[in-house]
Each structure stands twice: as structure tokens, then as C-alpha cells.
Amino acid sequence: GESVGLHLPTLSVQEGDNSIINCAYSNSASDYFIWYKQESGKGPQFIIDIRSNMDKRQGQRVTVLLNKTVKHLSLQIAATQPGDSAVYFCAEKKDGNKLVFGAGTILRVKS
């Protein structure tokens, strides 16, 4: 069935380096994607979204890239900080406003 998955379950980066978190999706008809950050014991926090008519979108220290040819989504975090340590989820819109979430990637920032 349709699914959204992540390539790496855990990513460790040095403070100050850039982080790249990847996500693959299988539904070529999906037209809306979101990245969330979830800290321990809290609900997911919206980071950035992108629609399928765009290839790239930038926020504060974050960039989302969408490659529809290979159905790949990535989140880039510039100058990663200890406060960026969390689980990151990609989500794909399915059927109206229902989201399908990936399993998540743990980002660990080493000081």
C-alpha cells in the first residue's frame, strides 16, 4: 500500500554542521508534504511544508527539497544546534487532509 518511509532511523551530527534527513514516499499523486519535529514527551511541532508544484522551500535554518521524479523528500538543517535534537517525521497528504506519517528519524547533536 501507499507509505512514507525514512532511510535512516538515527542521525548523529556535530554541533554546527548541517543535517540532512531523508524521506521516501510511494504515492506519486501526493501533492502536499510536511516535516515535523517531536521532542520527548511532546506533540509533533510543525517545521515546514511544501506543495508538489515546488521543488524547494526555505525557512529559518531549514530547507525542504522535493524530488518528484524519484519521490524523495529531504529536510536540511543548517548549523545544527543541540536544541535540534529530536525525532523528525515526514508526512504525506492522503485523501483530503489525512496525513500518512513516516516512522521517524532520531537526530542527535553532539557538542
Partner 1 sequence: SQTIHQWPATLVQPVGSPLSLECTVEGTSNPNLYWYRQAAGRGLQLLFYSVGIGQISSEVPQNLSASRPQDRQFILSSKKLLLSDSGFYLCAWSVQDNQPQHFGDGTRLSIL
Interface ranges with partner 1 (CB under 8 A): 31-32, 34, 36, 41-46, 49, 51, 89, 93, 96-99, 101-104
Q: How far apart are CA 99 and CA 3, in angstroms?
A: 10
Which is nearer to partner 1, 37 or 80 (by Cβ)? Answer: 37
What order of strands is seen across the sheet that includes strand 56-58? 4-5, 19-25, 72-77, 62-67, 56-58
Minimum CB separation from partner 1 for residue 27, in Å? Answer: 15
14/58 with CB nearer partner 1:
58
Decide whether 47 or 77 has the Cβ nearer to partner 1: 47
Q: How far is the CB of 49 from partner 1 (least distance, A)?
A: 5
Nearer to partner 1, 98 or 111 (CB): 98
Amino acid at 3: S
Classify 76 as helix, strand or coil: strand
Q: Grid coordinates in use for 75?
A: 529536510
- Work out how close the CB of 35 gets to partner 1 at its nearest, in angstroms, rounded to a whole number: 10
d(CA 47, CA 96): 21
Residue 84: strand, helix, or coil: helix
Give the bridge partners for 44, in sequence order.
none
Cβ at position 52, least distance to partner 1 in Å: 10
